[in-house]
Structures are given as C-alpha cells and as structure tokens.
Chains A and B, each alone.
Chain A
C-alpha cells in the first residue's frame, strides 16, 4: 500500500477579529483504496482538515503551515490552472447540504456535463453521455428524465446522489466527504452509505469521510482517526478502535453513546465542553475534561505513541512511565 495523501504537521489558524487555532499539528496518511473515517465533534477540526486538503479555505484569513502531499504533488504550492486540475480530477468533495453545493439555476445534467467538458475537453454530446452514465452509477431511477431536473425538483436523497454523481464525474482518485448523510433521514442515510461503499469499490478510489456519528463511521470506514482540539488523538483500524479505544476521549465518546445503554442507567459523560482554541494548545487539549488526567498532562503536550502496528494514540498514559523521555 502506498500513501495517496500525506499530511504532516499541518497547522491551520484563522485570523481576523478573533484568532482560532483550528488545526494544531495533524499528521495523516490515506492509502490507496481505503476509506478513512475522520470522527470528531464540532470544532474539532475535521472539516477544516478536508478543506485544507482541497485548498478551499479563504486565503486572506487563513494561515496554513506544514505540508500536504497528494500523489507527490505539493498541494499547498498549487496555483491557478494546476489547482483547478487538482480539484475534480485528483480530489473531489461532497458536502452536507447538496442544496447549497449545487447550482440552483442549472439542471443536474448540465452541471455534470460542464464539469466533464471543463476537465476532459470533450464534446458536449460526450459530456451529456457521461452525465447520464453517472446518474445511473449513483442509481437515480429514470436517470434520463432526471438529467433535465433542477436541484430543487429532487428530494434530499436524490440531490445527494446527484452531488455524488457530479463529484465522481471526472473519476477522481480521492473523494472527500464532509458529513454527506447528516442532513438526511435515517432510511435515506443508510442508502447513501451503502452507495458510497459500493462506489468506492467500483471506482477503486480512496475516501476520507468526515462524521460526528460513530455509527456512520462504523458503517463506512476501514480506518478511523479521532479528532479533538485540532489534533488527531487516536488512529488505527476501525475494528481495533471500536473494540478497545485507547485514548480517554475516544473511550468517553464510545461510552456516552446512548446506543447500548440500558434504560435507567446513567449515561457515561465527558464533563465540560470542547476547548475554545484561541491559543495553540501547549498541553493536552483534553486534559480539562479527562477522567484520568495527571499533572504532566497540563504541563506539556502528550507524545504520539504507536501502541500497536498502525495504531497511534496521543496520550501520556499510553506511553507509560518513560513518556517524558519519548517526547
């Protein structure tokens, strides 16, 4: 397995009226053909990581450092035509609100065709043909007649399918999915998750799937990275993390899920609220809410420890006694 995406020591800071240190040292790799789940709560930096990867963050108000390499291209150095080629052909993205991501004044078919023509320089007829193909790929019923439909004429689930069709129309190697099922009803959400799983295999692409819902992450991911306070606090194979979470935050998150809790028994909770991130965390950002916090957690950043093959945890406790030496 070779890494398609290599993010190392990524820092993203938003400046303006108020400074927010959204990403504070993210290291992440995405391998060919895998689906990586990025799990976290609001403000944890999961969406910002995706947007940085596609260079969607507002230039004037964002300070980015570190490196993002996709297929050996330096993404942070891309500009102009190279950036346009990168978006859509190499990496493509789907969003939570297809109604906002799609253009309301063009039909679904013409939006897909335009994208194909722009990237592949083919004829309108060939692009139209591809648009029809793509609507079939995402299993939109009576695809031919839906080509002429405008986004508002489609139901929520169909709009999301149309957006997936648009995102995949130039056969990208990497698909970024930013909570694409969060706004959907339960019976529709599962359809879209199954569709993405099938398409991932069919197209052999790699996927980064951002979600706040553990259930959704379990349904879609091969590997999981858990984010907190702009850092990845734990990553590894999905099964290992769900079975035996090692970071106290992941343990708390899995424990506070009402899924398995018997009625009448109190839910385990993580006290307090996520950090505000108006400064770079100089210690463990989770220390204030951690059930097993120690003195050193408030004094210095915890090390990233490889507790098993490919299984990383950012915690002193995982490092054992000689943690300070490792750091």
Chain B
C-alpha cells in the first residue's frame, strides 16, 4: 500500500496466521487501598490472573459491568499502569523483555478511549494531534502531515476543513474519528477500543461502527473491543470474553456465547438487556443488587453472593474455566464441572461428564 510509503511500516508478521497476535498470561493488577489507622490494608483486585489470546485479524469483545476490570485490563496491557505480574506476548515476543521493548510494543498497539475530548490535547489542532506520534517516531514534519491528511480522509473528515481545527470546534463524533485517525497513524496491528463509541449518539455510533469495520479490513487490524453495550459487542466481535470482579468468567465465539451462555452471570447480563419488542418486555430482573465493590472480593466463585444457583461449595472452591461444548467456549462455573460438588454438576449429560 502506497499509503505507508511515507509513514511507518506496520510491524512485521512473525509467527504466521496461527500464532495469536496477543497472548496475555496470568495478568494481575492489584491496587492497595489505605485503610483506617488500625484497619488492615485492603486491596482492590482489579485484574486477577487474567489469561486470554487475540488471534490475528480477529475482534475480541470484552464485556462486564463497572469494576469488572475490563478497562484496567486494557490499561495494564498498554503499560499505562505496570502489571503486578503476568506476561504479555505480542506475536510471540515477550513484551518488556529482550524480544520487544515497551516502546516498540506501543507502536504496534494503539488505543481509543471513551472520552473523545479528554483524550485530545486542547491546544493542538487535529493535524498536530495526529502527527505528534509520527514525529516522535522520527518521521519528518512534511511526511507526517501527509499521513495525517490521508488518514483524516480515511476516517471521513475532509482534511481541508478539519486539519486546522481544534478539538472544541468539532462534534463528539468527529472528535472520535480524529482519535481513530491518530491511533492509526503509527500503523498499529492491534487497536484497543475502550468504550470508544459509548459516548456517541446512536445515529453517530452506527457511523463510527461502520467506519471501524471498514478500517479493520483496509489496514489489516485486530481489535480488542471493550464495551458495556452487548448489542454493539455482538455486532463487532468474533469472540467475547465476560469479566466479573477482575476475573474472566466466560469466553467463546459470539454465536455460541449468546446461544449457550453457561455462566449464570453471562446469562444475567444477556437477559438484563432492554427488550426492543414492546410485546416482550422484561418481567423480572435477572439479578438483585449492584455489582459489588472489587475491594476484597468474595471467596470461591466471586459471583456466588449474587448467584441464584449458588451452593455452599461455590463459596469454597474457585471454579476453573471449563469447556462448555468445545474448547473454544469456556466458563468458570462449578455447575458445568463434573464432580465439582455442585448439585447441578451431577445432572450433566454423561457425555460431558466423561469429557
């Protein structure tokens, strides 16, 4: 593509299509909370032993409610907050190790945030914001400006109108397009979209979603799509990962997850979605109460205090991520783990029990 002639080349594909672009192993991030004078120190287990992989060219959706750790996972990934432990492998290379420096990794991974205004420098024009990273990477001013103008047209903003404008002079949808253009300026391979369309009006949201789909094909991108809006996640993602209180509770291909959600929390999230059919309104709330505070989360399965199927064993045993029907779809619930001690596991079909 001649677009890249003047700009940075995309990082080389090393491991081939079979190797995941991103592997995250046992990622953990805890934040200490100051207790009272005599109170013991407490810990927010924001991200706790999270492991997942994103294949090349795939979109992985991450869903969950506030405090579930989805945004912290993204920030720790980007090294905006250093992880306490865990490994990040980018196309097989250990990030922060000998294979790949954090600076190199950040060039391969870019991020778009929810607040389109706060994520742009108010004193820089649209063009200056987009060229900033390119110049930092040693691209000349003229070449960087050309890339910026090309990218502005790619995201649907006419450069002759928008390049010289300041963030406060354009609408929220336009600002988010600028943020997307800026993220693409360094030719990343992975783009993390952290609630990137959540603040937009519905009619604008649809425009930006279409744009993201187009750009993905055009630039050969992989997306990590974080959102609380399940409709949007379903539309965008190939696979979806559900988080609850800092842990992954279920993941799988989007169709499989929607059709056969195995974790009671995933099922609750799905049935909490407002109906769009006036004749099929929601009659009962799937869960009572609010998502709990991630400070000192419950023992065993962290969902057990809110789970309608909880049994004493759930408070004692931490459920492993167990295959639901095939290896690709897994859920962390004792009800699907044979011999877990939960009464429902005894009723599993024998084929699954033998698995």
Contacts and interface: CB of A to CB of B under 8 A. Distances in A.
Contacts of A260: 276
B281 interface: yes
A157 interface: yes
A35 to B, nearest CB: 12
Interface stretch (B105-113, B116-124, B265-273): B265-273
A41 B291 contact: no
B290 A155 contact: yes
Interface in B260-289: 268-269, 272-279, 281-289
A156 interface: yes
B98 interface: no
Interface residues of B, number: 44
B315 interface: no
A218 B202 CA distance: 15
Contact of B285 (A155, A187, A239): A187
Interface residues of A, number: 44
Contacts of A41: 201-203
Interface in A256-309: 256-261, 263, 266-271, 273-274
B225 to A, nearest CB: 12
Nearest to B285: A191
B150 interface: no
A126 interface: no
Interface in A187-204: 187-191, 193-194
Interface string A235-263: 00011001100000000110011111101
B272 A189 contact: yes
A84 interface: no
Interface stretch (B82-90, B207-215, B325-333, B335-343): B207-215
B237 to A, nearest CB: 8
Interface in B281-325: 281-291
Interface string A80-112: 000000000000000000000000000000000
B47 interface: no
Interface in B207-233: 207, 209-210, 213, 228-232
A155 B254 CA distance: 31
A208 to B, nearest CB: 18
Interface of A: 41-42, 141, 155-158, 185-191, 193-194, 212-216, 218-219, 238-239, 242-243, 252-253, 256-261, 263, 266-271, 273-274
25 contacts: A42-B201, A155-B290, A185-B228, A185-B290, A185-B291, A187-B269, A189-B272, A190-B272, A191-B285, A191-B288, A194-B284, A194-B285, A212-B202, A213-B274, A214-B202, A219-B282, A256-B203, A257-B206, A258-B232, A260-B276, A261-B235, A269-B206, A269-B210, A270-B203, A273-B171
The 8 A-B pairs at the shortest CB distance, nearest first, are namely: A215-B274, A256-B206, A185-B65, A41-B201, A155-B290, A270-B203, A267-B206, A258-B235
